[in-house]
Structure 1
Amino acid sequence: MESTELSFEGHAGKVVGRRWADDARGEPDYVVILVHGYGEHSGRYEHVAARLVGDGAAVYAIDHVGHGQSEGEPVLIDSFQEVEEDVHVLESLARTDHPTVPVVLIGHSMGGLIAARYAQRWGDGLGAIVLSAPVLGQWRAADALLAADEIPDVPIDPSTLSRDPAVGEAYVADPLVWHGTFKRRTLEAIQEALRMIAAAGPVDDPILWLHGEADELVPLADTKAGWASLAGRHASAKSYPGARHEIFNETNQDEVLDDVVEFIRANVRSPRRA
């Protein structure tokens, strides 16, 4: 698997991203647009990309504005519509590279929120959508933080990410991860995006929701209400007992990634496989 850096001018400055592929094998079977979560960056998904490339994909991802190596005030998002448009530019770049293969969208956590709204706006062009522990319906953590006169300086607890302690240790040590306070405007933008998703109605393209049952950061029950309004005719869901928030980094991550690949294979017919 080769990894190459890409960049373009986004809505709030330079956006930096990555492309993972095995170009020696020729045209990929499908393209994946991978959308990361709050405070992190696309580099944390190298192992996810490796699994997908091994299945025949080319994987594209960006660091959102204010995240990772992209420009912007740290973790400040004024509007998720603009972030979705940055992702749309990425999809356009991927389609320019691979105009004849289907496109799959995968989003985790806040990236699941972005992917859900993206699917409502541009889902007709997607072969499949996968939401990993998405922020949907209601996010009580945001409600509690916004209720405070001043956002408390309480970063994400790394123990909520995975049952594997090495995941939390790597998260804390990663200099590209944001370890500071939530920004009020970002939390307000998340709530605004949740309202827009609820108002826009279901996605009828193939869409899969995956979630850890022991997720304390984005509780399954809160997401379930949002999923009820988002899920269309081709929706499916699965949860994992004992798993925490970052299911792609969980102790059963192989099972989770196998489920993702199986869903893609069942719903995406590539020209080469045909």
Structure 2
Amino acid sequence: MALYEIEFTSHNDRDTIFGWLHTPTTEPHAVVHIIHGLGEHSRRYLHLITALLDAGFAVVADDHSGHGRTAMQSGIWVDAGDEAARVVVADELTLQRKAREILPDLPYVVFGHSWGSMIARVMASDPASRLDGLALCGVAAQMRGIDQTIDRDELAEAATGDRRAEPAAEHLVGQLFDGFIERFGPDAGPTAWVALDDDVVADHGRDPFNNFGAPMSARFLQGFVDVYDAANADDWYQTIPTGLPVLILAGDQDPVANYGEGAYHVANRLRTTGHSDVRTRVFTGVRHEVHNEPTTRDEAEAETVDFATRVTARQ
């Protein structure tokens, strides 16, 4: 298996984005582009990457601005500069372009998890992306903290002021995660929503490239909300080609997906706006990372591989 290291300057004109293009031992028949979630990094997807490589796909992924190796090198965590919503989407389009320079003329599928599902949806609405399939895992939709709780006026003021690069107020960050652990009992830890399996949660917490507890800047928090709003806007559905196949994966105990209801909401809206090729799988009893939960990982990977195989085979 060949590995290409990809580096480029972020659209914030500050960070060097670090990415990797994995290729299988055989000639790849398509590219799958993985977009990771908030507070994590792309190597947390190595199990999925391996499954895709074994199925003959090339896989490209990077560590976003303020995350993973990119943040390790810059020393700046959970901040993507001004206009963070624009930056993170533009960076993924740049990564896509660089992957296509190495492997031109191949079908292209994007897989986005959580925050990555938001970035992926906005990316898919850009005609330059020219996608053959869109997979949304841990889909962020109907999040109470963003839709109902967060003080948008206070956040907007903080994100545009002179201290916008400084950590956001703790109560604003708390509002973002409103209700995330309320179903999981009085002894639930702050990241219990990540997974049902204790080992997955522990691994998430001790991973030095995650740094999930790092304070996010006010402008990053605003950018996060902005990407969420763009991905969940009523007019987003009209920006997606009706022929684009979509796969949606979630757990029915995942607050990011409103306990599965957000996944069905996105799927139903796609169907009512003329998108006929939409498959939705909501796994029973599990939380956010259905692709990492021991009880659902194999099935989630199989769904992803089967989807990517089907939508690229017709090219």
Q: Same fold (TM over 0.5)?
A: yes
Matching residue's letter, 1:233: S
Question: Distance in 2 between the 1:124 and 1:171 partners?
Answer: 31
Question: Structure 1 pair 185/36, CA: closer, same or farther in 2 (3 Å)?
Answer: same
The question of whether the paired residues in 2 share the 8 Å contact of 1:146 and 1:187 is answered with no
Matching residue's letter, 2:286: A
Question: Distance in 1 between the 2:78 and 2:298 partners?
Answer: 30
| Equivalent position SS for 2:203 | helix
Question: Structure 1 pair 164/212, CA: closer, same or farther in 2 (3 Å)?
Answer: same
User: What are the superposed Cα offsets for residues 25-74 of structure 1, whole Å, 9 maximum, x if unpaired?
Assistant: 2x201111110000111111111100100100110101111111115631
Match of 2:77 among 66, 71, 74: 74
Matching residue's letter, 1:11: H
Match of 2:302 among 254, 258, 262: 258
Matching residue's letter, 1:18: W
The question of whether the paired residues in 2 share the 8 Å contact of 1:145 and 1:151 is answered with no
Question: Structure 1 pair 8/160, CA: closer, same or farther in 2 (3 Å)?
Answer: same
**2:252 corresponds to 1:213:** yes
Q: Which residue in the other structure is 2:164 paired with? A: none
CA RMSD, Structure 1 to Structure 2 (Å): 2.5
Larger Rg: 2
- Identity across aligned pairs (percent)? 26
| Correspondence list, 1:15-94, <5 A | 15-22=17-24, 24-25=25-26, 27-71=27-71, 73-77=76-80, 78-94=83-99
Q: Which residue in the other structure is 2:198 paired with? A: 165
Q: Which residue in the other structure is 1:133 paired with? A: 138
| Equivalent position SS for 1:247 | coil
With normalisation by structure 2, the TM-score equals 0.77
Matching residue's letter, 1:189: G
Question: Distance in 1 between the 2:103 and 2:270 partners?
Answer: 29
The question of whether the paired residues in 1 share the 8 Å contact of 2:113 and 2:136 is answered with yes
State the 1:187 CA deviation: 2.9
Question: Structure 1 pair 100/270, CA: closer, same or farther in 2 (3 Å)?
Answer: farther
Unaligned runs of 5+ in 2: 156-168, 178-188
Match of 1:111 among 109, 116, 121: 116
| Correspondence list, 1:196-211, <5 A | 196-197=230-231, 198=233, 199-202=235-238, 203=240, 204=242, 205-211=244-250
State the 1:188 CA deviation: 2.2
**Paired residue total:** 268
The question of whether the paired residues in 1 share the 8 Å contact of 2:267 and 2:280 is answered with no
Q: Which residue in the other structure is 1:151 paired with? A: 170
Select between 124-133 and 240-249 the one with higher mean Cα deviation: 124-133
Question: Distance in 1 between the 2:267 and 2:170 partners?
Answer: 28
Unaligned runs of 5+ in 1: none
The question of whether the paired residues in 1 share the 8 Å contact of 2:250 and 2:257 is answered with no
The question of whether the paired residues in 2 share the 8 Å contact of 1:31 and 1:57 is answered with yes
Q: Which residue in the other structure is 1:194 paired with? A: 228
Matching residue's letter, 1:249: N
The question of whether the paired residues in 2 share the 8 Å contact of 1:107 and 1:132 is answered with yes
Select between 196-205 and 234-243 the one with higher mean Cα deviation: 196-205
Q: Which residue in the other structure is 2:7 paired with? A: 7
The question of whether the paired residues in 1 share the 8 Å contact of 2:249 and 2:263 is answered with no
Question: Distance in 2 between the 1:17 and 1:124 partners?
Answer: 18
Match of 2:286 among 243, 259, 272: 243
State the 1:144 CA deviation: 3.4
| Equivalent position SS for 1:201 | helix
Question: Distance in 1 between the 2:252 and 2:32 partners?
Answer: 26
Question: Distance in 1 between the 2:195 and 2:37 partners?
Answer: 15
Q: Which residue in the other structure is 1:120 paired with? A: 125
Question: Distance in 2 between the 1:173 and 1:4 partners?
Answer: 27
Question: Distance in 2 between the 1:141 and 1:76 partners?
Answer: 20
Question: Distance in 2 between the 1:253 and 1:66 partners?
Answer: 27
Question: Distance in 1 between the 2:269 and 2:86 partners?
Answer: 20
